[in-house]
Each structure stands twice: as structure tokens, then as C-alpha cells.
A and B are shown apart, each in its own frame.
Chain A
Amino acid sequence: MSTENKTVESIPAITIRFAGDSGDGMQLVGTRFTDTSAVFGNDLATLPAFPAEIRAPQGTIAGVSSFQVQIADFDILTPGDNPDVLVAMNPAALKAHLHDLAPNGMLILNEDAFEEKNITKAGYKVDPRESGELDGYRVFQVPMEKLTKEALEEFDLPGRAVLRSKNMVALGLISWTFNRPLEDTENWINDKFSKLPEIAKANIKALKTGYNFGITVEAFHHTYVVEKAALPAGEYTNINGNIGLSWGLIAAAKKANLDLFYGSYPITPASDILHELSKHKNFNVITFQAEDEIAAAAASVGASFTGKLAVTGTSGPGLALKSETISLALSAELPLVIVNVQRGGPSTGLPTKPEQSDLMFALYGRHGESPLPVVAAKSPSHAFYAAYEASRIALKYMTPVILLSDNYVATGSEPWNLPNTEELNELETNIITKLNTEDGFLPFLRNVDTFARPWALPGTPGLEYRVGGLEKEEGTGNVSYDAANHQYMTDMRAWKVSNIANDIDKLEIHGDESADTLVLGWGSTYGGITQAVNRLNEKGVKVASAHFVHLNPFPDNTLEVISKFKKVIIPELNTGQLLKLVREAFLVDARGINKVSGEPFTAQELTDKIEAIINE
């Protein structure tokens, strides 16, 4: 296939958003285009967005699902701000997303869906194609349904199955527009429908139809090339945060010479961790789909007691239910990783939208004095390392650790330069097999460096011991209501956690170290903040950034870093939670940039807001 007589323009980056009904297959189209671009060698980042309902009423705004991808020939950190290209499969998708499209952006409409009924359903009073509101965009109307029907006439398929392939027409057209070969997707289709060869053939035909439409139709006179990105040398895979996190747990178990136990109850957007881990039983992974969130945590405590790397995963509301069980692990001093893939709250909130509003809850959401370490993933590939780090701390210090991810990290994807797995550090445990004193076994006799207690596993003769949620006597672990002992144990549990500050990576400064302003972040805002700081530095604005992976304890050089700057700005997808912590811990008059709209920050939004604060 060729692109004869058409102009090919080379561009450094492009952001494309696919939008349609939940049933239109937009996530699939987006993922396929992403994978092809990844294999081609672009840097990329993705942002899927879908409604909480599985199939909201067809044709309505509520039912619109979208997938945004930025591909670039340079190192990017976000899925792009305003899309340069919007593919709208129906009027509702247009209505929901047009306001984001960049000026003079390319708008590809499935014109067959613009019937009066659909136009009204989307909430338009008049056909948007005739009202003038599309002025200022480059509009391409493509009869996707008609093309699909004609192309698939030769196949003996029911009408609905035929129409389902219209997403392949869209994918074919976009593949042509951005000079992406089809082979990769053809192979994928053949593989996916290996048992339904007729369906495979039909989908490939639809894909080619869209591609050829680009070639033949004069309106499409321009194609674009985004060259390979100059990424650091290495072997890459395209990874999302839920998978990265799952693999990080598997790797941690392997390097600790333990088996992994994952207890969970299905909840959006954490369920994919359960799905992923349940595939890898050949790593001796036990996945336990419990009867509820509490049981998922409780079974994980049981697994931890027997010597597993025990992990329980959930999202916000589920963390609330696990709270009492986490306190048990904390009091019994058993290792446990609690994954919280944050979403919009409170209550059921926005199940499919990102928010960073569980930070305070992770730190303080337990009864009693119950400090525990908190680690946060900052990007999809970093989720692997964050899971590894959370496991390391849990095992080394005999403590529950909360690992925060969020919907943006969990479902977004980016290329990951694969690590040499042999270079991943072995993880220490406190497993004990012999008496630790001449007189017998003391289950709460601590390691003098880490203050961790020994981990005696059932099945080990001579170390039989009992542990529970009642206060324990230091050393013997026997139930104790002694006043001085409770004071001591409370202080010890806090000291054990704060002592970890010496055993974690230091806070690093990115950008212009001579600047007066520091942008401080945590979790999934990493890409947006870093990109914003880069843009400002390129403009000559002096600003630096630092990003927390450890939220409790903070790295031991945090005060030193913060003290170098006059102004501290903290962007967060909440109403100012890290802001409060930093103001309290370091007595700085930090400023927040806060948002809880269910959407991540765009790099431009942060660039503008940071600059405005600097210029005040």
C-alpha cells in the first residue's frame, strides 16, 4: 500500500483521542494503535477513560468511552494535553470531547451516526455539523458504517457483528494517516480470533477498508510521521500500572524466596491486579477472591502468619473496610502489603476516575496509634518498582505497608525499559528457625537495627507462639496490660517506622537547582509536574521539582531539600493533603494547586499555574 500523491509531514509528537459509545470498541482501537506505535519505537503515554457503567444507554454522553494516546519522537511523560486529533464515533462522543480538541485540530466523524435521533440524544438542538461550532477544526466526515457494511458484504455475518467492526475502519484510517503499518494489528486479530477465522478475516477487511479510504479519498491529502524516539537503549515493553504493580509483587516474592499470596475482592480499578496475578500460578502465586474486602485482608494476614509475601489489594472504599485488619497486622507486626488503587471519593464516588484523595487515609485511617509506611507509584512502569519497594519494607521491618496507586497510573500505559532481573536486590526476611535465647523463643525480641521482630512460621518445631491484637509484652509477646509496656510498645512501633527514613532513596531535585521555587509532588502527578517544570525551564523560568515515592516516612533529606527553596508549590489531585503534611512536618508556607474533577492535570495547566504563582 502506498500514500502516492499525498504529502507526508514529519511531526515530533501527536495526541490522538478516540471516543465513542462504550460498546464501540474505542479502548481496543486505542490499545492497538498504541502497541503498533510502541513497536515502531515511539515514546508514548496513554489515558483511557470509561464510564463506571458497563453499557450506559447507547448514544448518550454518559455512555461515552475514550482513549487518548500521545506518541512522540522524544521522551514524554504524559498522555498529552489537548488532543490534536479527535475521532468521534457518534454525536455524544463529539459533544463530550470537542471542547478539548486543540485549535485547528483534526476531527474525524463517523457521519453515519449523525442521525437526528442520535443528535438529539447527545443533547444537541441542531446538528453540530451545521451550527458552525465545528468551525476552526479540520473536519473529516467518514461513512464508517456504510464502509463497513459494504466491505463485509461477502461475509456471512449477522448485521450486528458487521457493525461491530466499524472500529477497525477507524483504526485503519488512523493507521494510514499516521503511516503505521497494519501487520502488527493483523497478527493480533488472527491470534485473537484464531478459532473464528471468518471473524478474523472480516475484521482485517474492515481495517484495510479504513486504510484504503485514506489513500483514495482526496480530502485526506496529508499524512504524518512521528519518528522513533531517542529513548535510552534497551528492551522495552508497553506496560500499564496494574500489570506493572502485579509483576513487581511477583518479582519481590521471587527475590525474597517466598511465595506470593494475593487476597482481594473485585473492585474498580484494582480488579485487574487480581486478574493478572491469577494468570501466574506457575510462580506459586495464590490468588484468593474473598467473600468481601475484610476477608481478603484477613486471609492475607493468615497467609503472612504462615510465611507468604502477603498482599491485599483494593480501591478507596475497600481500604476503609480493611482498616481494622491492617491494625491487626500492625499490632501483630506481620508483613503485609496493602494496595490501594485510588479513585474519586468519598463513598462510591467516581469509580473510574483518578484522584489522590486517600493519602491522609493511608497515613491515619486506623484506630489507635498506628503508624505504617506508605509508598506511592508515580507512573505505570514505576508501579513495578513501587510494589517491589513496598514488599521490601514490609518484609524487612515486619510491618504492613500501604502502596498507593491511582486510576491514572493503573490504567495508563507507557514504554518500560526492562530491568535486568538479576540486578534486582534480593529481599531480606526475618524468618527464624531456631530459638533466639537460651531459655526459649521470644517472638518479640527485636532486631537491633531494624527493630523487626522474628518471623516464626507454623511448622517450625520449638517456636510455637501465639500472637494477636491485644497489646503484647516486649520480648515474650505475651498479652500485657502493663502501663509502661504499652507506652514502650506504642513508641517502639512509631520508632520502627520512622527509622525507615534512613533506608530509602533520598529525595532528588529535578530541574533548575538554583531556582527559588520547588514543585513538590507524589504519585501519579509525576509526569505532569516534570513536563511542566521542563517547559518552564526551557522558557527560562527558574523552577525545580521533587517527587515523593515514600510518604511515610519522608526521606531523611527532605528538610534539606525543602530548605533550599523560598517557595514550595504542591500540586495534587485532592484538596491539599500532602500540602497539610508538608506544612506541618517542615513548617513551610507551601502553596497547593488542587483539582478533584476526576481528570489528571495536563502539563500545560500545571505550567500555567506554577508560572502564575512564581510571578506573584
Chain B
Amino acid sequence: MSKIPVTYKRTDLQSDQEVKWCPGCGDYTILASVQNFMAEMGISKEKIVFVSGIGCAARFPYYMNTYGVHSIHGRAPAVATGVSVSNPDLSVWVVSGDGDALSIGGNHLIHALRKNVNIKILMFNNQIYGLTKGQYSPTSEEGKKTKSSPFGSVEMPLNPMSLAIGAEATFVARSIDMDRDLTAGILEEAKNHKGSAFVEIYQNCNVFNDKAFEQLTNKETKVANRINLVHGEKTVFGEDGHKAVVIRNGIAQIVDTKDVDESEIYVHNIHEENPSIAFSLSRLSHGPYGPTPLGVFRKVQRDTFTEEVHDQIDVAKEQKGEGELDKLIRSLGTWEVS
């Protein structure tokens, strides 16, 4: 029996709730990208669950006409793990921010990734705490002056791509709010991926951290700074492809294309099992400054937590038969008193 593909209009995916982000927030663009994508994703909306934590991004589920849980700060990957493993038929999406996912929820993020739970995590990275009105976040650059760091942040920021790859993630990608096509393509790849997907989306907070990603969005600079990672293609970028990425001694480096033999230019392979190159690519920039890779860093196959848990249940039922209470309560041995 062939499945009838489900298609919706974008409005079918919109809930009846008024969207309450600040005017001009990058979240609007991402919401539109996700709704457009999901309208044609081919999954009926009752099977879609959005789970979020706390933060501006975390209001996302309220605006989706799907099932949704707006949970507590940092815990969305854990809540989503419970959802996914309880009902493997669901398409489970986590929406999080840099504070939510990397600071208060860092532990849950790395464990969901390592376990390869079948959930798709979209982390909107605006490099600031928005909902609490402008403190530095774990991705804010060193020296960042905010309300809680008037003399500049003294903290080394996290590199979310490096963290995810280090946490054994099987799918790692980065997009940017303004680039709807790139986001749609990554969402499609993530949806088709078996296991956990981690997608960082650079998102402009026009109120507390405006133009944080300008080097990647400004017409003047974006061509020079966007390294588009495309599977099977040579990694060249910049005006007329005059820059290229090569891997030397296992380390990704940016070179002038004219200085290297064409065969030395790195051909991107998202399926490479060994995470070293993907990790090295993630180190080309430590934030959206200068040449920064965008796209899918890594997509490899590994058994998912969700499936394996259910495989064990199936095996147990096959071996022991469906559980019977009467047998269970007698399993430690009994005696009769007459």
C-alpha cells in the first residue's frame, strides 16, 4: 500500500495564536521557513511534536498547529527523548536557543546527541540572552559588553558545531535565518536522517545583539565569508572561488585557490565516519567572524536509541512472551499456606 503524501498549505501549520516576538526578529523568518517546509514534508501534523525549553525561541511550539510542549529551561532534549522513545512514529522537533541548549541544558544536549535519539534539534543562536533582556550567552564573543558584563565578557565562547561533533552527533549542520533555501535544504536532510540531528541557525536579535551575523549577511562581505559546505563538491568560496579549503595533516586550512593543486582542494563528504575532518572544518571559525562554514558538516548512520530500545522490547517479548502479571508476582518462588 503506497502512502498518500500529506501536503498542507503553510497556514495549516499556523496555530491560532498571535506571534509575539519583537518586530524584525530573525525568529519570524525561521518560523516561516519551518512552516513552509513542514507543509510539504509529507508527515501529517498530528504526528509532529515540537518541544522547547525556555527563551525567545522556546515560544516556537505555540505558533505551530501541531502537538507541542513548552517545557522548562534547558530540558527540551530530555523531554523530547521521552516523547520519541515512547512513540517512535512521531516526528519530534526541539527548538532551542544558545542559552537554553548550551548553558543550562548543555548536559541534556550532549546526551541526546550521543544516544542518537530520533529527534531534530534546531538551535537558534543569537549569541545573547534575549528573553532576560540582554546578558552574554555561552556563544557571546570574548569582550562582549552586556548588562551583566559591562567591562566585557571574560569567557571563552563555545563552538556549537565542535561541541556537537565531539558529542558523537550523527547529523550536524549550520544555517542562517536569512537564507531560507539553505534552511529548507538542511531541514529536509535532517528530517530524512535516522537519529538525532543538530542544526545551529544563526539568528539575528535586532534588539539586544543586532548585526551579530552581519559578516555573513551583508552583501559586501557575505561572499567572502560564507564557506558553503556541499556534499561531493570542492570547497571553494569567495569572489570567483578564489579561496579554498584544504586538509593538511588532518587540519582544515583556508588557502588561495591559485596556490594549490586542484586535487588538493577538499571535496566535502558528509558521510565520512571519522569525525576529525568535520571537527576541523568547525574550527575554521569560532563564531560568525571571517570565513565561516555553513551547511551540513556531518551525516552518518548509526542505530538510533529510539529503535534499539524497542528492538530490545520486541526480543524480550519474543523470548519470554507477553508479560503476565500472575507469572510476574510468582517469579521469586512461592509457598502455600492452607
Contact = CB atoms under 8 A, between A and B. Distances in A.
Interface of A: 35, 38-39, 41, 228-229, 231-239, 243, 247, 250-251, 254, 259, 261, 263, 280-286, 288, 290-292, 294-295, 298-308, 310, 324-325, 328, 332, 417-419, 421, 458-470, 478-479
Interface of B: 15, 17, 44-47, 49-52, 61-62, 64-72, 75, 78-87, 89-90, 107-108, 111, 309, 312-313, 315-317, 319-323, 325-326, 328-330, 332-338
Contacts of B111: 290-291, 295
Contact of B86 (A39, A236, A286, A479): A286
B62 A299 contact: no
A466 B72 CA distance: 14
B325 A421 contact: yes
| Chain A to chain B: the 7 pairs with minimum beta-carbon distance, closest first | A302-B82, A468-B70, A283-B323, A299-B82, A298-B78, A281-B316, A295-B78
A297 to B, nearest CB: 8
A182 B330 CA distance: 22
Given A39-B333, A302-B82, 11 more contacts: A233-B337, A237-B334, A239-B332, A243-B332, A247-B329, A280-B316, A284-B317, A301-B82, A302-B69, A302-B80, A418-B330
Contacts of B79: 298-299, 301-302, 305
Contacts of B338: 233
30 contacts: A41-B335, A237-B334, A237-B335, A247-B329, A251-B325, A259-B86, A281-B315, A281-B316, A281-B317, A282-B316, A286-B313, A290-B78, A294-B75, A294-B108, A295-B78, A298-B78, A298-B108, A302-B86, A305-B67, A307-B86, A325-B75, A328-B71, A418-B334, A419-B329, A459-B46, A466-B50, A466-B67, A468-B69, A469-B71, A478-B17
Contacts of A468: 52, 61-62, 68-71
A251 to B, nearest CB: 6
A301 B46 contact: no
Contacts of A41: 335, 337
Nearest to A302: B82
Given A301-B71, A459-B90, A236 B337 contact: yes
Given A234-B337, A459-B90, A462-B46, A261 B62 contact: no
Contacts of A232: 337
Contact of B47 (A238, A418, A459, A478): A459
A286 B85 contact: yes
Given A302-B51, A460-B46, A291 B107 contact: yes
Nearest to A469: B72
Contact of A286 (B66, B309, B319): B309
A237 B72 CA distance: 43
Contacts of A460: 46
A302 B15 contact: no
A235 B336 contact: yes
A535 to B, nearest CB: 24
Nearest to B82: A302
Given A233-B337, A250-B323, A466-B69, A299 B61 contact: no
A616 B313 CA distance: 61
A291 to B, nearest CB: 4
Contact of B332 (A238, A285, A325, A466): A238
Nearest to B326: A421
A243 B332 CA distance: 10
Contacts of B64: 466
Contacts of A281: 312-313, 315-317
A295 B86 CA distance: 15
A237 B15 contact: no
A471 B92 CA distance: 24
Nearest to B332: A237
Nearest to A296: B78
B17 A280 contact: no
Contacts of A332: 69
B317 A298 contact: no
B82 A288 contact: yes
Count chain A CB atoms within 10 A of each CB in B61, B312, B330, B335 and give the residue with the most: B335
A236 B334 contact: yes
Query: Could you tell me the dominant secondary structure of chain A's interface residues?
Result: mixed
Nearest to B336: A235
Contact of A458 (B52, B67, B322): B67
Contacts of B317: 281-282, 284
A490 B174 CA distance: 42
A298 B44 contact: no
B86 A306 contact: yes
Contacts of B336: 234-236
Given A306-B90, A466-B62, A466-B70, A35 B75 contact: no
Contacts of A229: 337
A465 to B, nearest CB: 7
A205 B335 CA distance: 27
A283 B326 CA distance: 12
Contacts of B17: 478-479
Contacts of B45: 464
Nearest to B331: A237
Contacts of B108: 291, 294-295, 298
Contacts of B49: 305-306, 458
A235 B335 contact: yes
A250 B329 CA distance: 10
Taking each of B66, B79, B86, B315, which has the highest tally of chain A beta carbons within 10 Å of its own beta carbon? B86
B328 A247 contact: yes
Contacts of B86: 259, 261, 286, 302-303, 306-308
Interface centre among A247, A421, A468 (most CB of B within 10 A): A468
A280 B75 contact: no
Contacts of B313: 281-282, 284-286
Contacts of A298: 71-72, 75, 78-79, 82, 108
Nearest to A238: B332
Contacts of A254: 323, 325
A299 B78 contact: yes
Tell me which of B79, B80, B89 has the highest count of chain A C-beta atoms within 10 A of its own C-beta.
Answer: B79
A41 B337 CA distance: 7
A324 B72 contact: yes
Contacts of A38: 335
Contacts of B44: 461
Nearest to B313: A281
A484 to B, nearest CB: 20
Nearest to B45: A464
Contacts of B329: 237, 247, 418-419, 421
A64 B108 CA distance: 38
Given A302-B79, A302-B81, A235 B62 contact: no
B328 to A, nearest CB: 6
Contact of B81 (A299, A325, A459): A299
Contacts of A464: 45-46, 65-67
Nearest to A244: B329
Nearest to A417: B337
B83 A300 contact: no
Given A288-B85, A465-B67, A466-B15, A280 B328 contact: yes
Contacts of B61: 466, 468
A280 B90 CA distance: 24
A421 B325 CA distance: 7
B137 to A, nearest CB: 20
A606 B336 CA distance: 33
A415 to B, nearest CB: 8
B328 A250 contact: yes
Contacts of A299: 78-79, 81-82, 85
Most-contacted residue by chain A among B65, B90, B336, B337 (CB, 10 A) = B337
A157 B66 CA distance: 65
B82 A261 contact: yes
A235 B337 CA distance: 6
